[in-house]
Structure 1
Amino acid sequence: MGKLNWPCYLLFIILFIIGTFSSGLNVCMSGSATSCEECLLIHPSCAWCAQEEFGRVRTLMSRCDLSQNLQKRGCEAYNIENPRSTTRVVKSEPLSSKGSGPTQYDVIQIMPQKISLSLRPSDQTSFKVQVRQVEDYPVDLYYLMDLSLSMKDDLDSIRNLGTKLADEMRKLTSNFRLGFGSFVDKNMSPFSYTAPKYQDNPCNGYKLFPNCVPSFGFRHLLSLTDKVDRFNEEVQKQMVSRNRDAPEGGFDAILQAAVCKERIGWRKEAFHLLVFATDDVPHLALDGKLGGLVQPHDGKCHMNEKNEYSGSTEMDYPSLALLGEKLAENNIYLIFAVTKRHYVIYKNFTTLIPGTTVEILDADSKNIIQLIVNAYNNIRSKVELTVWDQPEDLSLTFTATCQDGQPLPGLRKCADLKIGDTVSFNVSVEARGCPPPGTRQSFTVKPVGFKDRLEVSVDYRCDCGCTHRARANSSRCSSRGQYVCGTCRCDTGHLGARCECHEGEAGAVYQGACREAEGKQICSGRGECSCNQCLCYESEFGKIYGTFCECDDFSCARHKGVLCSGHGECHCGECKCHAGYIGDNCNCSTETLSCVSDDGQICSGRGNCACGRCQCTEPGAFGDTCEKCPTCPDACGTKRECIECRLFNSGRLADNQTCQRLCKDEIITVETLKTEDPNAVLCLYKTENECVMKFTYSEHASGMSVLTALKEPECGAAPDAMTVLLAVVGSILLVGIVLLAIWKLVITVHDRREFARFQSARSRARYEMACNPLYKQPITSHPVETDFSMYSKSYNGATH
């Protein structure tokens, strides 16, 4: 053991303390990088100084730092290894404006077409994708019809479908082709009638319809052609068949129509529509075991010389995943045209099969033409990107910019578009780690249903340029190791920054450099101190590292037993989350795509998106995107618009082609509205004609919203003008007569009272002259007091 060099030792301690405090939250210096490659993996901001004689005292830590810090400390810029992620456009031809004409084979609907990415781990780069639905794009439509017995009236309704449909579709495209195929079910028990008497005629003994053809799985009848009369001819030749159980073998037929490209006649340069018309549910994968079919479907074309599906009685029905994969591979949009009672089932299928829509078919298929046109317009009004063959160590984040020009983070689709509109998507790409050296990977970005695609090739920038200038047995490494990027990689049995020590050498002189602080354990108790540096133990749980073995990659927070939830890397006790995730254990997704409702709002405007899931804040709101809320104040108003556009083709949603997208509730029309369901909300509104429209809004246990509405608004009958006139005149006359009668009655009562009073006065009067109160006597008498005796004498004497 050599003599202790106290000045160097003190300098080392001072620099150690300064570095400890100055590094702070510097993720680069808090890592365990002992080489340039390890430094690049810590964080995208970390750089490595390969300059000789740089950071001699703390070689293992100081070379990995932020680029500006390295330059401040004297590292020349050309000696700093700090590769960045880059994007290079390889092929970018301009978008086309029309789809038909002399250049229809060169139609381009996505730009650019090829991109090359060079990715540094955890460092993001991005590129822009533009998509345009060009005008007058060729259309191939294959009509796949259920020919079981229950579809007999539908077969009669489409006898002349070809001509009518071609006329309607030519309003949308000048290049239209039509094909036809049919299906029933596997011709084996228990799916079909197999008794000898039913071999040639499964309807034998069936009184309502005694004649039909034997059951078959799938039969290709007409390849795609622009001669629509051929379609009518083939349809008129067809007869229905009869199977035993209710479900049909339609998924067998869909898969064959998708993968047998040459037989069907799908064109590469055309828009592919597959219309699937049925009135019942389909058989699914594993149903074939009921008939002893245990071989899974291989996803290949099995058509014999008669253009019939030859694997019907040999393989099971295809799964939904296989069906979706093959439809996407061949750029086919599937349109389920089904009756109302099966709408919910097929609606659930559309969430599992990308590029699929469902429309309600009338019981006799009379609305099939309008149904197809509506579905075509709905499909052409939206653009959605999908990613094929995405490497596991790549993270992709999308931001859509639709017609309103507002960036929508987390979205990879745009709706409510018009033909010819151009939308753009910004795609951010991040590499989570480094594959084996020399690995080149690729993936494809493709709009659903388009033949156009963007091919992206990826290489990784995980190595440093200075690695290629390594010097073996360098004198800077005491001739005992390789000098690489400014550090020594010692040969076996040697240690130290310059390979100056032998394994096993230890002493008190080195012990202080192996402690994180006074009183701490040597090498944190998880390593040995040898030649002034810690040699960390190996662990079955993961890697132990750090200057003092203080770090590891397994002591981080877990979620459901998974380290950093599987969405991050553990660095020295802290989860470093991958792009798109946050939280102490990286269990919270920042992706908002799953929270976006059909109307484009986050959680339907009734909640908040947290960790990729909606938390509904509006009382009564529920559903994955809080889209269901019968008791919300605006529920009746929102559903009113759906009633108007779906039943009467009026209102705000009738003109901008959003009715089918926003109004997915099942609507049942009735003559009389009954509100027996206690959970149903009664809604009513007044129409433009002053009529009253009533409907109820309820949620089924299956989660499907149901609207029950009157077939027609309730309107009062308009009054007859003559009746109103006569009523008004009669009312006036009646009021006049009543008033006269009242006046006559009052006068009569008054007169009778006065007459009675007169009679009473008359009966009490005396009309004799003396007693007449109006007559006065001409002679008055006055009493005089006299002596009567004297008066008598005088009188007598006078008399004499």
Structure 2
Amino acid sequence: MIKWFLLQLVFAFVLGTGQADPSQHHCNPTKAEATCQECINLGPGCAWCKALNFTKAGEPNSARCDSVKILRKRDCKEVDIINPSNVANVKMDRPLGGSGDTVIQIKPQKVQLVLRRGNPQKIEVTFKRAEGYPVDLYYLMDLSYSMKDDLEKVKKLGGQLLEALKSVTKSIKIGFGSFVDKTVLPFVNTHKEKMKNPCPDKDEACQPPFDFRHVLNLTNDANTFSAEVGKQSISGNLDPPEAGLDAMMQAAVCGDVIGWRNVTRLLVYTSDDGFHFAGDGKLGAILTPNDGKCHLNAGGFYEDNTKYDYPSIAELASKLAENNIQPIFAVTSKIMPIYQELSKMIPKSAVGELKEDSSNVVQLIKDAYNNLSSTVILKHSTLPDGVRISYISHCADGITENDKKGTCSNVRINEEIRFTVTITAEKCLTKAESFEIRPLGFTENLEIILQTECDCKCDDKSDMSAHCNNKGKVKCGICSCTKDRIGKFCECDPHKRSTQELDAACRRDNTSATCSNQGDCVCGTCICHTNPLKKIYGTYCECDDQNCERNLGKLCAGHGKCDCGTCRCNQGYDGTACECETADEQCQQNKASEICSGRGKCRCNQCVCKSGYQPPYCKECPGCPSPCPTYVHCIECLGFSTGPYQKNCTESCRNIKHTQVEKLTEQNTCKEKDSKNCWMIFLMKEEDGVSQYNVMIQKQTECPVPPNIIAIVSGGVAGVLLIGLAILLIWKLVTELYDRKEYRKFEKEKSKAKWNDADNPLFKKATTTVYNPNFNED
């Protein structure tokens, strides 16, 4: 048993059909004249019978579409059933294993699929982590001034790095690049002297600031690495964040320059500070978004760094995944939280704590590589529109399902793991499409070439068929007529009547369906479909004997027949569903009265009254308006021979019977004015029937006494005069009192004045006196 299981793992590639159970799929084309193509595209459970005489007279072509199980029951032979299934062909399936640069870790490598719409296809994919898989490592270092001590340590790392990784793989190459920041304010000091030497100490040897520089192509020579890195010197910038994402983007997309091989690719990123990302370039007036392309010049410098903004994290993650590069962030403890969050957004990345002098970088890289290699993540590239994919991961620690990726952790060297990949085409593709499924961080992949099968292959003959009156060809059991013939069997000549006329003759009106979707229009005449459950009939197949009201679960209560939606009741039964016996005792107030007072119909021995009238006998109408104002002219002409209807009173008021009485004392009497403005008093009682009244009219009208105009006018004039006189007297009194008050006040003020009769109260002495010194009074 164990040997068999191991054999299965070695040659694992099982193609599942994913065929749905057809008996569980309901096939119902929306059009009566459905085609085979429309049928199979309803879903994987739908099949088509192409047998010539499969449909009966009046049956639509849609009857050919059903599940395989039902078609077999209807005696459709197996050779006549069109039911396309998925096809999977393995184009490349090289065995796992190998050595050196020819290691194969995933199988199969190429599969061609032809899928039916909606029918899932399962593929078993096997991955085996190989021992000694080749590795390319690119060391990307921050050369801002704060990394001065670290650079001295890295200059001595070449041999140590190669020796450490050779314990994992024999094929190892290492390269080197560095970064600082964009060479514009406010990222670096653009003063002429600072652009030559950005370090604080002018006497210290510093190289000019730069964004990213590729220093050393990938090589397996430790001495070359140490020599080239040893030539590097520190640089500097102004703000703490660096151009790390810029450098990673160029290292990822400039594969031809750097020399990446088709092997495991590691990018070791060392820094002691954060990073700039998309949008920060606006601070330096850099507005053009990063284009994700290589811009290295002959000297290895990123020469367009002042033209393009920093990349976004999502854009960088996409480019890293696209180029199978796994980043390892070796950063100091103070900024580890920042890079741990960054790592969550970049698949297949790791973060390690770097000592202040980078002394532990070798062990850190080795540990990170082992962690990355032991986690296998299977993902797909961009899928064609309408294609869906899901994964089942069969790992040592259990089975998991995911719609986006397959993942297994702690995978040991030479351990095989399986993934069940399910691919479903949810719509028909216009052409062959392809996409890749690959383990992240590895350059190997499984290529999927996908097509959809949305057409029927019925192997029809190309010549005219007698089945179609030699006026058409048979396509999947249906006649495809020539241009001059129409009809199910090409039996109609459209020149006698146009196709539109024939079609219109099978419609009740412009908005209805042809033959009510329950028949075939044959040369302008509806031939109704046969149905074992109901009889379909009518000029336009609009009627059947089942679409009627039911009572207690019985059609027409079992007391009638259904005729085109209406119950025709047997004698002695009534009601919309023939649910009542014919009787009307409860619909009459007495034997002499009319049924439902003539204002309704008796249904099931109960009155169904006209609007406003109330059961049980439809006599009262609480919501109806009073008839008194309506018939006021009839009352006047019948009772007093006056008014507008005087000349034709009998003709206009034939629905009213009247009698005259001396005095009316009953309640609910009507009181309306006649043409002479006198009050008429009368009582109206409605008889059985509609608008039939018996009226009693009081003989004498009540006319109002006319007013005394002379008295009203004289009294009014006198009143106005008296009011005016009173107002005048009051005004005179108030004025007199005011004048007297002011006079007394004047007399009082006058008595207080004490003037000398010789003095003029208006005279005042001069305020200035002038003396002439030469004048002598003597």
| Counterpart-to-counterpart distance in 1, 2:270 and 2:507 | 83
1:314 aligns with 307
Q: Secondary structure at the match of 1:212?
A: coil
Write out aligned runs for 1:99-248 (5 A).
Answer: 99=99, 104-204=100-200, 211-248=205-242
**Partner SS for 1:126:** strand
Structure 1: stretches of 5+ with no match in the other structure:
1-22, 535-546, 549-800
What is the 5 A alignment of 1:298-697? Answer: 298-404=291-397, 406=399, 408=401, 410=403, 412-436=406-430, 439-466=431-458, 469=461, 476-477=467-468, 483-489=474-480, 496-499=487-490, 502-505=499-502, 522=516, 531-532=525-526
Letter in 2 for 1:162: G
Q: 2:261 aligns with which of 250, 262, 267?
A: 267
**What is residue 763 of structure 2 aligned with on the other side?**
none
Evaluate the alpha carbon distance shift between residue 252 and residue 54 of structure 1 in structure 2; reply closer, same or farther with a 3 A threshold.
same
Deviation of 1:56 after TM superposition, in Å, equals 2.6
Indicate if the aligned counterparts of 1:480 and 1:491 stay in contact, CA closer than 8 A.
Answer: yes
Match of residue 49 from structure 2:
49
Is the 8 Å Cα contact of residues 101 and 134 (structure 2) preserved in structure 1? no
Letter in 2 for 1:450: F
1:37 is displaced (CA, Å) by 0.3
Question: 1:48 offset after TM fit, Å?
Answer: 0.4
Q: CA deviation at 1:96?
A: 0.6
2:27: which partner in 1?
28
Give the counterpart letter for 2:129 in structure 1: Q
Q: Distance in 1 between matches of 2:476 and 2:182?
A: 69
- Quote the residue 1:777 is aligned against: none
Whole-angstrom distance in 1 between the partners of 2:506 and 2:275: 81
SS at match of 1:199: helix
* Post-superposition CA distance 1:684-714 (Å, at most 9, x none): xxxxxxxxxxxxxxxxxxxxxxxxxxxxxxx
Q: 1:199 to 1:95 in 2, by over 3 A?
A: same
Structure 2 unaligned spans of 5+: 1-21, 493-498, 529-540, 543-778
2:23 touches 2:69 (CA, 8 Å); kept in 1? no
Q: From the superposition, tell whether residues 468 and 499 of structure 1 become closer, same or farther in structure 2 (CA, over 3 Å).
A: closer
Change (3 A) 1:406 1:319: closer
The alignment partner of 2:241 has SS state of coil
Cα separation, 2, equivalents of 1:259 and 1:306: 17
Could you tell me which residue of structure 1 aligns to residue 89 of structure 2? 88
2:460–2:474 contact (8 Å) kept in structure 1: no
Give the letter aligned to residue 463 of structure 1.
D
Q: Supply the AA of the counterpart residue of 2:211.
A: G
Per-residue CA shift, 1:248-296, capped at 9, x if unaligned?
Answer: 111121122122223322222x321100111222111232232222333
Closer, same or farther: CA 471–280 of 1 in aligned 2, 3 Å? farther
The structural deviation recorded for 1:120 is 0.4
Deviation at 1:145, TM superposition (A): 0.3
Instruction: Tell me: CA distance 1:344–1:457, structure 2 relative to 1, closer, same or farther (3 Å).
Output: same
1:39 aligns with 2:35: no
Q: Note closer, same or farther for the CA distance 1:506–1:332 as it changes in structure 2 (3 Å cut).
A: closer
CA contact (8 A) 1:493 1:503 kept: no
Distance 1:506 1:264 in 2: 72
Distance 1:506 1:92 in 2: 58
Distance 2:180 2:505 in 1: 88
Alpha-carbon distance change, 200 to 94 in structure 1, aligned in 2, over 3 angstroms: same
3-state SS in 2 of match to 1:290: helix
User: Following TM superposition, by how much is the alpha carbon of 1:151 offset from its aligned partner in structure 2, in angstroms?
Assistant: 1.2
**Alpha-carbon distance between aligned partners in 2 of 1:471 and 1:260, rounded to the nearest angstrom:** 61
Encode CA deviations 1:159-188: one digit per residue, 9 max, x unaligned.
Answer: 322222222222212222221111101111
- TM-score, length basis structure 2: 0.59
Does the aligned pair in 2 maintain the 1:121–1:462 contact within 8 Å? yes
Cα offset for 1:336?
Answer: 1.5
Partner Cα distance (1:108, 1:171) in 2: 20
Q: Kindly name which structure, 1 or 2, has the bigger radius of gyration based on alpha carbons.
A: 2
1:505 shift after superposition: 4.1
- The verdict on how the C-alpha distance between 1:31 and 1:225 changes in structure 2, with shifts beyond 3 A counting, is same
**What secondary structure does 2:413 align onto?**
coil
Asked if the contact 1:27–1:42 (Cα under 8 Å) also holds between the matched residues in 2, the reply is: no
- Partner of 1:123, secondary structure, is coil
- 2: CA distance, partners of 1:498 / 1:430: 38
Cα shift at 1:131: 1.0
| C-alpha contact (below 8 Å) 2:110/2:446 kept by paired residues | yes
Cα displacement string for residues 354-403 of structure 1 (whole angstroms, at most 9, x for unaligned residues): 32222222233222122111110101111111212321121111111112
Shift of 1:470: 5.7
Q: Is the 8 A contact 1:337 1:358 kept in 2?
A: yes
CA pair 314-488 structure 1, distance change in 2 beyond 3 A: same
Instruction: State the SS of the aligned residue for 1:128.
Output: strand
Contact 1:197–1:204 under 8 Å retained in 2: no
Change (3 A) 1:225 1:511: same
Aligned residue identity for 1:70: L
Q: Is the 8 A contact 1:471 1:484 kept in 2?
A: no
Write the letter of the residue equivalent to 2:233. M
What residue is the counterpart of 1:677 in the other structure? none
AA aligned opposite 2:526: N
> Compared with structure 1, are the counterparts of its residues 25 and 302 closer, same or farther at alpha carbon in structure 2 (3 Å cutoff)?
closer
CA distance in 1, matches of 2:292, 2:238: 26
Are 1:254 and 2:224 an aligned pair? no
1:140-165 CA deviation, whole Å, 9 max, x = no partner?
Answer: 11110000011112223323222222
Give SS of 2:247's match: helix
Show the counterpart of 1:281. Answer: 274
Number of the residue aligned with 1:650: none
Report the AA paired with residue 335 of structure 1.
Answer: I
CA deviations on 1:547-602 (whole Å, 9 max, x unpaired) are 99xxxxxxxxxxxxxxxxxxxxxxxxxxxxxxxxxxxxxxxxxxxxxxxxxxxxxx
Deviation at 1:205, TM superposition (A): 6.0
Asked whether the equivalents of residues 181 and 219 of structure 1 are also in contact (C-alpha less than 8 Å), the reply is yes
- Equivalent-residue separation in structure 1 for 2:151 and 2:34 (angstroms): 76
Instruction: Give, in whole Å, the separation in 2 of the partners of 1:377 and 1:137.
Output: 12
Whole-Å separation in 1 of the counterparts to 2:260 and 2:46: 52
Once the two structures are TM-superposed, the CA of residue 500 in structure 1 deviates from its matched residue by: 5.0
Contact 1:59 1:497 (8 Å CA) reproduced = no
Matched, 1:73 2:74: yes
* Superposition deviation, residue 299 in structure 1: 2.3
Q: Secondary structure at the match of 1:314?
A: coil
* More moved, 322-331 vs 176-185: 322-331
Two-structure CA RMSD over aligned residues (Å): 3.3
**Alignment partners' CA distance in 2, 1:59 and 1:522:** 12
How many residue pairs get aligned? The number is: 497
Q: Is the 8 A contact 1:503 1:530 kept in 2?
A: no
1:348 is paired with a residue of what secondary structure?
helix
